[in-house]
Structure 1
């Protein structure tokens, strides 16, 4: 986490000095989401076929779907006495963690490449629900176009291709694999630099003065990962799968929470503050959650 924090500070510095401009943040985000992350996911499936890994992949896929659906239902009770514009932000930020920008770097740091392998499988139902049900939380309307966009997401496509290559033992030629793998290795530092550049524009005075921000962070960083462990233990899920799911759910709020909030007329300022604060606090809560996992699993 210290290493990732230093990378994030590089992004803060670069944005403050205008080395990274406001316009280039969006371009870098698109470059990561459409190029480097798919490359990382594709090469993370470079394993020899294993029935155990396939069973684990099936398990974590189901775990992800069950967890997200339960969280979608439970989140209603976490925000009962708030205004609609606030409710949608709190529900979305508590349900959907930053499993991309933050999740993959942390998974790789804790579990190695196998963490990315299982994390990619976890994110298939996660992405489908985030871009479908997640939008419904803000709009109150069903939109099949969002489901189609989620299915055609480059990360989902590269995950499906990579998994098929794993199942059928298809290997990329050495030169091509090395090139794609090298591009994919940019994902971790680039993602943290982007997060840092985004956080550099937040006004600290506004963020630290709002109690609702702390409540959103508490739900996202403490309640959800511990609920994940509780739910999966009921179903007697494999220990490694519980650990990976819990670590993903310990991530800060997804960056798209503020993008959706602004687009669909919710409280986008609250969303941005929760993203900022949860990202900072997660530097302390992620190690805490991983230590707790040792004693409760």
Structure 2
């Protein structure tokens, strides 16, 4: 498992370096970053979400899925409140980024391979179920954190968001054992597979705007990494323990919440004009630091559960 985590972190870091190189050489322009961000959020991410539900119906899986769904939703609500408490003194643009990275981990891009390494192929299914409330909150509360709006227009955008639509369709397909035709599934999988490299390349392109010495400077970056990698997993375990949650569910949720900052944090920061530089720096630093913190969290779980 430790080797799996280290390999994933190295792979993601190399992808980020590709983005840095492409931006430095002006292969990716400032305008391109915005367009690619939209392409990721509206096309590749929904495709990845939709294809993650391509499983046959099973009563045991449905029972586990129900539990994961419920506790994942409770956890998201708890983190929304927790994030307010931890960031009330920060400046507005920084506060938006910090709140977002506290609530939302890199559950899709790193959560899937890490859970697969621990639980096998079924780990991907568990991650997909966890990501249902995760995606709903990310594309609703997450957007509202950045825009500070909760009007009818924002609600409409949330409901009609391609990732939310893909989540609903995917779950219904699982419940009714509806399989996508081979050609459609293969095409959607290929498009969805672009999500991870594209998102990391975009983060790298955003990092290219920051001077190297500035990436490692500033208390906020380390504060954000501490919250995301250490405090949030501990909060997750304590909250679910209080709720007398099954040990399997605690493990799944805690491991997912031990992931580094969601790469979408910088995509949203770019789209909604928040502190893009801070978001990119926290994503970079938390991804590197997770090489050490994720194994530490899994070790912690062995003793606490």
Deviation, 1:68, is: 1.6
**CA distance in structure 1 between the partners assigned to 2:274 and 2:29 by the alignment:** 26
Query: Does 1:240 pair with 2:248?
Result: yes
Note closer, same or farther for the CA distance 1:42–1:268 as it changes in structure 2 (3 Å cut): closer
| SS, match of residue 236 in structure 1 | coil
Equivalent position of 1:290 in the other structure = 298
Q: 1:61 pairs with 47, 64, 69, which one?
A: 69
Equivalent position of 1:158 in the other structure = 166
Equivalent position of 2:286 in the other structure = 278
Is 225-234 or 70-79 further displaced after alignment? 70-79
Aligned 8 A contact 1:128 1:147 in 2: no
Note closer, same or farther for the CA distance 1:9–1:174 as it changes in structure 2 (3 Å cut): same
TM-score by length of 2: 0.80
Is 24-33 or 62-71 further displaced after alignment? 24-33
| SS, match of residue 142 in structure 1 | coil
**CA distance in structure 1 between the partners assigned to 2:52 and 2:166 by the alignment:** 10
Aligned 8 A contact 2:136 2:164 in 1: no
Deviation, 1:21, is: 3.6
**CA distance in structure 2 between the partners assigned to 1:149 and 1:79 by the alignment:** 26
Q: 2:106 pairs with 92, 95, 98, which one?
A: 98
**CA distance in structure 1 between the partners assigned to 2:142 and 2:255 by the alignment:** 21
For structure 1, the residue ranges without an aligned partner over 5 or more in a row are none
Deviation, 1:167, is: 1.2
Aligned 8 A contact 1:8 1:192 in 2: yes
Equivalent position of 1:205 in the other structure = 213
**CA distance in structure 1 between the partners assigned to 2:95 and 2:105 by the alignment:** 17
**CA distance in structure 1 between the partners assigned to 2:49 and 2:123 by the alignment:** 11
Note closer, same or farther for the CA distance 1:175–1:261 as it changes in structure 2 (3 Å cut): closer
Query: Does 1:78 pair with 2:78?
Result: no
Aligned 8 A contact 1:79 1:87 in 2: yes
**CA distance in structure 2 between the partners assigned to 1:112 and 1:34 by the alignment:** 29
Deviation, 1:260, is: 5.6
Aligned 8 A contact 1:41 1:116 in 2: no
| SS, match of residue 244 in structure 2 | coil
Q: 1:193 pairs with 197, 201, 204, which one?
A: 201
| Count of residue pairs the alignment pairs up | 297
For structure 2, the residue ranges without an aligned partner over 5 or more in a row are 1-7
TM-score by length of 1: 0.82
Q: Once the two structures are superposed, what CA deviation does each residue of 1:36-71 show, in whole Å capped at 9, x if it has no partner?
A: 332232222222211121122221221122112112
Aligned residues: CA RMSD: 3.1
**CA distance in structure 2 between the partners assigned to 1:143 and 1:66 by the alignment:** 24
Q: 1:50 pairs with 36, 46, 58, which one?
A: 58
Note closer, same or farther for the CA distance 1:243–1:192 as it changes in structure 2 (3 Å cut): farther
Q: Once the two structures are superposed, what CA deviation does each residue of 1:241-290 show, in whole Å capped at 9, x if it has no partner?
A: 32332232223333454566677776555444333432332343233323
Aligned 8 A contact 1:88 1:138 in 2: yes
Note closer, same or farther for the CA distance 1:268–1:33 as it changes in structure 2 (3 Å cut): closer
